[in-house]
A and B are shown apart, each in its own frame.
Chain A
Amino acid sequence: GAGVSQSPRYKVAKRGQDVALRCDPISGHVSLFWYQQALGQGPEFLTYFQNEAQLDKSGLPSDRFFAERPEGSVSTLKIQRTQQEDSAVYLCASSLAPGQRKETQYFGPGTRLLVL
């Protein structure tokens, strides 16, 4: 079956522009996560959805970052008024069940964002 997909794969934005990044999780997966990976570092948590409910957004770096999953499947991460420090790879992951410590997260290929 299909894995997690993300689009676009690459995005170049001018500073101050708004961007929207899309994630299609594995069908039937309840949990969805967004991570940010800066160059040379490990991924860092941004936000978590259980179905359509955003239950943890503690990792979002500022109020310019906004995420939604209105129908409990596809999710969009939006960054308003992009700044150069937003340049990173944005990874989406999904897992089958919420809150169960034994569920593996499966990652998409990521969106590489470059803000000029």
Chain B
Amino acid sequence: GIQVEQSPPDLILQEGANSTLRCNFSDSVNNLQWFHQNPWGQLINLFYIPSGTKQNGRLSATTVATERYSLLYISSSQTTDSGVYFCAVPRGYGNKLVFGAGTILRVKS
């Protein structure tokens, strides 16, 4: 099956710093989602981004499908950005999601 790898596994930032999270996948995909799992465990949709670039406030994402990777940019990080960031791709009948292992982000004030 498809492999989804995320890097770095964890990241500590000072408030106000910028960061880039990476997601590599081993096969072609028609869709990719980025999620933020907050400290209470809720998975929050950030982006649906099969290709190209999207921006939402301080967050933006870019997927280069031909090179099988996606990037999530966080600018001017805030303590509320802390949590785990997952990328996921659909596979198989029904489009069940295959998740990466996540990047743990801690933003210090």
Give the interface of A toward B (CB within 8 A): 31, 33, 35, 41-45, 48, 50, 55-56, 59, 89, 91, 93, 95, 98-107, 109-110, 112
Residues of chain A with a CB closer than 8 A to B88's CB? 42-43
- Check A107/B96 contact, CB under 8 A, given A101-B31, A101-B90: no
Q: Is the C-beta of B74 less than 8 angstroms from some C-beta in chain A?
A: no
A85 vs B59: C-alpha distance when bound (angstroms) = 37
In the bound complex, do residue A56 and residue B92 qualify as a contact, i.e. CB atoms below 8 Å apart?
Answer: yes
Bound complex: CA of A41 vs CA of B4, how far in Å?
13
Interchain CB contact under 8 A, B95 and A103: yes
Residues of B76-109 at the interface with A, using a CB-CB cut-off of 8 Å, are 86, 88, 90, 92-102
* Interchain pairs with CB closer than 8 A, number: 69
Q: Restricting to B24-56, which residues have a CB under 8 Å from any CB of A?
A: 30-31, 33, 35, 40-43, 45, 48, 50
Q: Which residues of chain A have C-beta atoms less than 8 A from B101's C-beta?
A: 41-42
A55 engages B94 (CB within 8 Å): yes
Chain A contacts of B98 at CB under 8 A? 45
Which one, A33, A41, A100, A112, contacts B96 given CB within 8 A?
A33
* Complex contacts, A99 vs chain B, CB 8 Å: 93-95
Give complex CA distance A41, B6 in Å. 12
B42/A102 in contact, CB under 8 A: no
A55 touching B95, Cβ below 8 Å = no
Q: List 28 A-B contacts (CB under 8 A).
A: A31-B94, A33-B94, A33-B96, A33-B97, A42-B101, A43-B86, A48-B93, A48-B94, A50-B94, A55-B93, A89-B41, A91-B43, A93-B97, A95-B95, A99-B93, A99-B94, A100-B95, A101-B30, A101-B31, A101-B95, A102-B30, A102-B31, A103-B95, A104-B33, A105-B95, A107-B43, A107-B45, A110-B41
